[in-house]
Every structure is written in C-alpha cells, then in structure tokens.
Structure 1
Amino acid sequence: MDASDGEEEEFELSRNYFLAKEFGTSGKKSTRKLSEIDIVDEQELRAALSNIEPKHEKEINDLMNTYKSLYSKWVFELRCGFGLLMYGFGSKKALIEDFASTGLTEYSVVVINGYLHSINLKQVVITLAELLWEQLKNYQNTPSGKSSKAEEPYNSRSMDDLLAFLDGPHADGKKCFVCAVVHNIDGPALRDSESQQYLARISACSHIRIVASIDHVNAPLLWDKKMVHTQFNWFWYHVPTFAPYKIEGLFFPLILTHGGATQTVKTASIVLQSLTPNAQSVFKVLAEHQLVHPDEEGMPVNNLYTICRERFLVSSQFTLNSHLTEFKDHELVKTRRHSDGQDCLHIPLTTEALEKLVQEISQ
C-alpha cells in the first residue's frame, strides 16, 4: 500500500469518526432521570463493603516490608531538610503512621487528618510551636545545651509570630524539629489556595519536617514551582499499598446510597455530567438566580434567555428550549405558573442542596 492509499484511509477514518459523533449527539438524547437511579441504604452498603475478603495478602505484606526497609532512608532525608510526599493506589495512612511510630521516636509528631471536612490550621501551628518549645527546653537541660532564648508560644499570638518562632535561629536546637504528618494533604478542607500557602510556609520552617500523602489525580496542581522545590521541598515516593480507604471513606457519602440532601446533590451531579458543558452553564445560571432570590416563585424563561444569550451560552430560543427539555426530562427543573401568568423555572432542591450542587458543577 503506497502513501496516497494510507492518507486516504486515514481521511476516511477521521471523517467517519466525526460523522458518528455528529449523528450520535444530535439525534440521541439521554433518558436518565433522578428517580431511576437505584440507590440503597448507606449502612447496608457499608456493611457489604466491610465483608469483602482481602486478596493477595502475602504479596501486600511483602510489599509493605519493602517500604519498611526504607524507614532509615526516609529519616535521613527528613534530617536533610526534605519533605516526604507519598503517592500511589491505596490508603497510605497505616504506612505513614507506622513509620512515624517506629522511625521518628526521637522527635515530636503532629498528625493532621486532611480527609476531614474542617481543619483549624491556626491550632495546628500552635501545637507545633508548643512541641518545639518543649524540645528546646529539654535540650537546654542537657549538659551540652546552652541557654535557650525560646519562649513558650500562646494562643493569642498571630500566625506570623508563630511561624517566625518555628523558623527561628535557635542556636541550641539545630537538631530539633517537629514532624507534621498530613494524611491527604489534598483533602477537601485543604484544597483552597490559602490553606496550601500556609502549609507551604509551615513546611519551609527550619524546625519543621513534613510527611504527607496525596490521592487525588490533580493534587500536584495545588502547588506552584516555588512551593514544590523551595518550601515543601518534596521527595516523591511511589508507595502503592492497595489498602482500602476505610477511615478516609467514613467522611464521604456513598454515591449509591440515599442520604438526604447530600445524596440528592450527588445524584443530580451524575445527571448533569451526562449533559453538554453549555447545558451545565445554563443550569448554573438558573441555580444562581434561585439562590439569590429564594423567595420568588422561579425565574421567568425570558429572563433566563436574556442572560444566557449575553453570556453566549445559547444562540436562539430554540437552543434554550432544547436544554430546558433535557432538564425537565431528567427532573432537574420544574415549571411553575407565576401570579402574573407567565411560566417560571424552578429547581426542586433545598437551598443547602442547591449550593452544594453549584459547587460540584463549578469544579
């Protein structure tokens, strides 16, 4: 087969691909509805998950033993000023805690559970400072220790003062440091820019070392070049454990179970993911209007069309109507008759559930 035949065949494949896409999306419409999603009781599903028998136990134990042989190397790297970042499939909670309890016995350790939905970083810094002060005080009492100028930090001190203390040039405590163990540093409560900036500043302190784990595929996007190479100073370790996320999973609702407003958000999010990006944006416009005007009967169709046209989400009333038809078919939107006689659009979700749904589709 010569080059011209190959190019012609490649052209035909490309043409058939786009034709299939065109006909597959224009004439076919998803028929999934919220009410059709089969969900079960959460406790029943969790009980079923707990009864799943583990597999390949011998191989996993051998794998864990290889990681344990690296403990001394990890301690050396921490002493050299690196931060350890563990990634790979499976929960790394047990591995990191075993390393902390066996390899870091000479140092104080603070555990931060990033998988929780609320974390007080100011309290974390206070705890780190108090532990460092205790180490410096104990070092001062040794025969070789000199007079320490360290003072015990108090809760009333600002974050900048506490971080300055953690990074202070304590001449008698050059070998003193506190290790911060952060399970899921990419957890939901730590994903915002402010939290990551504070964690980077903490990690950059001369008397702090950090051991952390990540599980989200986009976790590296949380940091810029300075944070990775200068502040965190990560030493990356691929340590797949294949362990279930038993503890971490307790704080996340199961998608296949019914659980009130939270589960309604999950099921609505599943349906929205089957729609086009423009359809999702139109739905977001309607949701934001309902959040701003919770006491109104709904959003008039004409107002929705005007806003969507201004934002280049739709080009005609026909396009908007096609989106609304999908919303109604999926039971995401309902029509209400306003007191003046015009039709208004309403999303049948509580304000709390709607706020969560807007956050889900904005990510």
Structure 2
Amino acid sequence: MEDIDNIEEDDFGFSRNYFLAKELGGSSKRSARKLSDINIVDEQELRETAFSIETKHEKEISELLNEYKTMYPKWIFELRCGFGLLMYGFGSKKGLIEDFASSSLTEYSVVVINGYLPSVNLKQVLLAIAELLSEMLKSRRKSSGSSSKGQETFPSRSIDDILSFLHGSQSEDKDCFICLVVHNIDGPALRDPESQQTLAHLASFSHIRIIASIDHVNAPLLWDKKMVHKQFNWLWHHVPTFAPYKVEGVFFPLVLAQGSTAQTAKTAAIVLQSLTPNAQNVFKILADYQLAHPDEDGMPTEDLYSASRERFFVSSQVTLNSHLTEFKDHELVKTKRNSDGQECLNIPLSPDALRQLLLDLSQ
C-alpha cells in the first residue's frame, strides 16, 4: 500500500513540476530575430547551387521508378474504364507522368497543362481539346464508313459553347478518348473554384480522361464529393518519386535570395495570401494610399481605421490593431511619426513592387 502511495505521489510531483516549468518558462517570450537579419544571396547563385546538389540514393530511386513502370498497363486499363488518375506523394511526379504518357499513351491524343505556371489559359486548352476531338471523330467515322453526322463544329469560341460541343460529341467507340495531363492540378493558377469546376466538368465527358498530380497538403479541399466521385472519378495512386521540384520550383521565390522587384512582390503576396480576406483588404487600402501620396511619410493610423471601417473590413480599433500586428510581424508594414506627431503606417516596398503586389493579390 505504501508503494502505491509513493508512486501516486511521484506522479503528482512530476505533473506539478511539469506545469510549473511551463509556467515559468516564459511562453510569452518571442524571438527578436527577423528575416531581414539573414544575409541573403543573389537568386541566380542560390538556384545554381541548389541545382548542383547531388542526388542521393540513386539506385533505390531508380528501382522505385522501374516498379512504377510495371503499373503502366494497369493505369491504361483504369483510364479505359473511365477513371481519372490522381498521383500524389513526395517528389516531383512530372517526369513519371510524362514517361507514362510518352511510352504508354501513344495510341491516344494527349494535351498537357502545366498547373505550376503562374498563369494558365484554360480557354485555349479547351479549344485545343475540342479541335482534337472534332478531327478524331471525323477520321473515325470516315474509316468506319459511317454516314451519321454529329456535332463537329461549334459556332463560337466561348467556354460554355466549347463545353457544350465536348458534351454533345458522342461515339459508339468507348476507347476513343483524349488524355488530359495536368501537372499540379492544385497549382496556384488552378486553385480558384471556377478553374476546378471547369476541369471537373471536362473530366465528366465520355471522351476525356485526366491524369493529374497534386503536391499541396490541402489539395483535396479543392473538390466536393460530387466532383471527386462523379466528375473526376479519381483513382488515387501513391507514387513518391523523391525527385527534386526543379521545374515546378522555378516560379516560386526563394526565401533566402535577393530577388527582383517582381520577386519581392511575389514573396509579400505569398505572406498576405495566408492572412484573412479582411486583412488583405486593409493592406490594399494602405497600399493605394501610399501610391497616391508618394511624398508623405505614410498613412495615419486613424485614417486607415476610418477607411477600413467605412468599408466594413474592421469593426473596431482592436480588430485593426490585430491586422497591423500581423503586418508588422511579417515586416510588411513599418510605423513612424510625421511632423505633426501622428503615427503613420508605411509599406517598405518601392512603388513598382507595390503595384506588382496589388496586381498579384487581385488575380
């Protein structure tokens, strides 16, 4: 009995000491270090150094890729059954998907979308698919001697008309389809709901099959249940390649690099996009004011509060202060006092970088 009491007392003492240590540890302490304290290097030099890093475990990675190649016939069978293929896992899957397309999809027309690019013109992609499908159906009917005529042309080149054409084009040959390869379907240019709805609508057509890759941890949140199971009809394949994201990473800023004006604006845009829409709108008010008044020390805090409240971006001074704290923590905004003693807010970016930042946020 005494042993049990001793054990309980020891456990209690351990728990008490643990929470006491947490309390005295100064959880409110914050690091004084900032990103600006780091000695950054030239972007080109940093990229060249990163690309020159030797790949490790080449033998094991090669064996892993060869194992994936044995699955190519299965993937073709799944496409012919009407499924879409979604590749996920650590490492760039661009090379794997391109090898699959070039070696196993030679009997089909293939259209490629590079979703990792800063911008993607989906309308041009739809137009290319429609023209390919129109020619493919014509040649199939001609070779079979069929006299039946389907809808082979579309009156205009609007997205809705192109989708209507693709939906209306039918063929008895179920093996007649176009493969759409989408590298990074979760890429920045394709994350908006309109792009995802267009791709899902496209994937639901009988003559379209999609092979896509994802890398963002929250990529599945782009789709609802209907899109996943009835339109994209995904079959998920875990295919980690451990390959570097050399091509995909070219369009993302390097944190430790001294970039250009566009690169600086892009870095700030990435930070702002992680904040709430109201915080972004408050920042836009400040940016517009700074561009309109280049000779002033900045925008007075009271004026920013009035303008933000009039547009219902904040409901109180406390809310504005919360947004400003986030801006200051990320070094997006600095404060100084003007000649009248007012506290003014200033964005430490050049006018060109600030205009580029507003353009990035509006996309």
Question: What's the TM-score bracket when you normalise by the shorter of the two chains?
Answer: 0.7 to 0.9
Is the 2:335–2:343 contact (alpha carbons within 8 Å) kept by the matching residues of 1?
no
Aligned to 1:24: 27
1:160-194 superposed Cα distances (whole Å, 9 cap, x missing partner): 22222222252444331100000000011001111
Q: Evaluate the alpha carbon distance shift between residue 136 and residue 224 of structure 1 in structure 2; reply closer, same or farther with a 3 A threshold.
A: same
Aligned to 1:147: 147
1:305-346 superposed Cα distances (whole Å, 9 cap, x missing partner): 676996356389xx78x949x9399584031516x5534221
1:44-84 superposed Cα distances (whole Å, 9 cap, x missing partner): 11211222111211111111111111111101111111000
SS of 2:110's equivalent in the other structure is: strand
For residues 270-349 of structure 1, the aligned pairs below 5 Å read 287-293=283-289, 294-296=291-293, 297=296, 298-304=298-304, 311=315, 314=318, 323=325, 327=328, 332-337=333-338, 342-349=342-349
Paired residue type of 2:288: V
CA distance in 2, matches of 1:289, 1:337: 19
Q: Residue 201 in 1 paired to residue 201 in 2?
A: yes
Alpha-carbon shift at residue 236 of structure 1 (Å): 0.1
Paired residue type of 1:232: F
For residues 8-47 of structure 1, the aligned pairs below 5 Å read 8=12, 12=16, 15-16=19-20, 19=23, 23-25=26-28, 28-47=29-48
Which is worse superposed, 34-43 or 235-244?
Answer: 34-43
Pairwise CA RMSD:
3.7
Q: Residue 217 in 1 paired to residue 256 in 2?
A: no
1:260-306 superposed Cα distances (whole Å, 9 cap, x missing partner): 23443577689999xxx8xx999757623312323243222334567
Aligned to 2:56: 55
CA distance in 2, matches of 1:216, 1:79: 28
CA distance in 2, matches of 1:109, 1:171: 18
Paired residue type of 2:43: E
Is the 1:33–1:331 contact (alpha carbons within 8 Å) kept by the matching residues of 2?
no
1:180-222 superposed Cα distances (whole Å, 9 cap, x missing partner): 0000000110011111110100111111000000011111111
CA distance in 1, matches of 2:94, 2:149: 37
CA distance in 2, matches of 1:246, 1:214: 16
Aligned to 2:81: 80
Aligned to 1:261: 261
CA distance in 1, matches of 2:9, 2:196: 55
CA distance in 2, matches of 1:83, 1:175: 14
Which is worse superposed, 239-248 or 282-291?
Answer: 282-291
Question: Gaps (5+ residues) in structure 2?
Answer: none
Aligned to 1:239: 239
Q: Residue 189 in 1 paired to residue 189 in 2?
A: yes
Alpha-carbon shift at residue 355 of structure 1 (Å): 6.9
Aligned residues: percent identity? 55
Is the 1:301–1:345 contact (alpha carbons within 8 Å) kept by the matching residues of 2?
yes
SS of 1:176's equivalent in the other structure is: coil
TM-score normalised by structure 1 residue count: 0.81
Q: Evaluate the alpha carbon distance shift between residue 267 and residue 125 of structure 1 in structure 2; reply closer, same or farther with a 3 A threshold.
A: closer
Is the 1:265–1:356 contact (alpha carbons within 8 Å) kept by the matching residues of 2?
yes
Question: Gaps (5+ residues) in structure 1?
Answer: none
Aligned residues: 348
Q: Evaluate the alpha carbon distance shift between residue 282 and residue 129 of structure 1 in structure 2; reply closer, same or farther with a 3 A threshold.
A: closer
Which is worse superposed, 344-353 or 224-233?
Answer: 344-353
TM-score normalised by structure 2 residue count: 0.81
Q: Residue 114 in 1 paired to residue 115 in 2?
A: yes
CA distance in 2, matches of 1:329, 1:42: 21
